[in-house]
Chains A and B, each alone.
Chain A
Amino acid sequence: MDLTPRSNSEETIVPKRKRNWFAIAVIVIALVGGGVIVSQFLTSAIDYYCNVDEVGSRDGCEGDRRMRVQGIVEQYSVKELNGSTTFSMTFNMKNLNVVYQGDPGGVFQECIPVVAHGRLVNGKFESDRIEVKHSNQYVEKNETRMDRANSEAAACSVQKD
């Protein structure tokens, strides 16, 4: 097999390869997908949440609109009653009472930062989605199995925000 570099004259008489329609289709899909992702970035990702202390004071965090609010679940504030969960979120010395229908998923617990989706109704934040914003700190669990209360106490000592 001849693998020596071709001269230009040789390259010009190479028969045209078939257009790769599959590659073109993938490029079109990537461009459309990229556009969708960029629009998501500009509308959602660039300003993902308002902190509790910004509700009603910062642009985009007005009290009457649907928003995402971030704060730390206050210790001893979580209560479960008739299938709904209520708790208080705090950030920069400001508090916000949250009502969520159901049991928040993830590693939801006291002293952990969460992002609640919903809107303010009569001073309470009615949330239909809770996301747990766990910290970047990882602490080994002791060999003796910890119960939930101990785990939450550990979470309170771990969180720094």
Chain B
Amino acid sequence: MQLDKTSPSGTGTPATRTLGVLVIASLIALSLFGLVFSAEDVVQGSTVRIMYVHVPSIWVAYMAFAFTAISSAVYLTAKNRSLGWDRFAGASAEIGVLFVAISLVTGSLWGRLTWGTYWVWDARLTSTAFLFITYIGYLAVRRLGGTHRQRARRSGVLALLAVLEIPLVHFSVRVWRSLHQEASVADKGTDVELDGLMLFSLFFGLVAFTLLFVWLVIHRQRTLWLEDAYADKGLDAAIVARREEAGV
């Protein structure tokens, strides 16, 4: 492969660099709010500080999987069938898997301190584990081989099915008897069950992690574009070689 000396530095642009600075600043601020400024909980004590990474992580995962489904739907239904949507779907799913894993591990540590155990097979944890493994499967399906369009078609259909698990996970604590507590915000209208700075820290975490997701998905999508372009180059070379071989 020819090395192009005029290549740019990568997937960054001035806009993403600005966003990156904003993400770093907001994550530093979140650390201060979550670990220093916000108060301890009257029952859980300091343990509540795990919430400020645990909840935003699963929030990003939900958002990422929803975005994967939307991008897949756009790819499958749009006339021009732009592979850019498929790459957004793949990038978003990968980030979602990372954040479900973070949510499962931090939740497990939080559970050890509050519930007294790392893991229980209750409705919330079991359905979250199923969500995690489903999207691991989705990422594997994307790497099965074939053309980019074959990849986009089969993973697009899978993404539209897999996203149906999100309401199952979110409402599992209401539908079934669960050890996991119900949501403290956004589930009961105005009946917010978090005190002052705790609530602010949590919302700040959601915003910071959302910005982080945007930065990650933009860069990952661009990397996937480069991977596809690289694969196409390899195929171009192989096609030329085949044609020469056949004397076409």
Chain B residue with Cβ nearest A159: B43
Residue from A11, A49, A158 in contact with B43 in the complex, judged by beta carbons closer than 8 Å: A158
> What total of chain A residues lie within 8 Å of the partner, measured CB to CB?
58
0 or 1 for each of B63-94: is its CB under 8 Å from A? (1 = yes)? 00000000000000000000000000000000
Name the residue on A nearest B194 (C-beta).
A138
Does B137 lie within 8 Å of A26, measured CB to CB? Answer: yes
Q: Is B143 positioned at the interface, with any CB of A under 8 Å from its CB?
A: yes
B11 CB within 8 Å of chain A = no
Which one, B181, B195, B239, contacts A14 given CB within 8 A?
B239
A93 interfacial contact with B, CB 8 Å: no
- A residues less than 8 Å from B127 (CB atoms): 41, 45
A28-39 vs B, CB cutoff 8 Å, 1 = contact: the mask equals 001101100110
Q: Is B18 an interface residue (CB 8 A)?
A: no
Q: Which residue of A lies closest to B143 (CB)?
A: A23
CA distance A64 to B209 in the complex (A): 49
Interface pair B126/A133, CB less than 8 Å apart: no
Q: Which of B177, B181, B235 meets A48, CB within 8 Å?
A: B177
Tell me the bound Cα distance from A137 to B182 in angstroms: 9
Q: Give the nearest-CB partner of B38 in chain A.
A: A140
Name which of A11, A104, A105, A137 has the most chain B CB atoms within 10 A of its CB: A137
- Of the candidates A30, A48, A137, which one forms a contact with B179 in the assembled complex, judged by CB atoms under 8 Å apart? A48
CA of A115 to CA of B39, assembled, Å: 28
14 contacts between A and B (CB under 8 A): A2-B236, A14-B147, A23-B144, A26-B140, A37-B133, A47-B177, A49-B177, A104-B116, A105-B112, A109-B43, A138-B44, A138-B193, A154-B42, A158-B43
Known A15-B238, A131-B117; 19 more pairs at CB < 8 Å = A15-B235, A22-B143, A24-B140, A27-B137, A30-B136, A34-B134, A44-B121, A45-B122, A45-B176, A47-B177, A48-B179, A105-B116, A107-B47, A107-B113, A131-B179, A136-B193, A137-B194, A141-B41, A154-B42
Interface residues of B (CB under 8 A from A): 38-45, 47-48, 51, 112-117, 120-123, 125-127, 129-130, 133-134, 136-137, 139-141, 143-147, 172, 176-179, 181-184, 193-198, 229, 232-233, 235-236, 238-239, 242
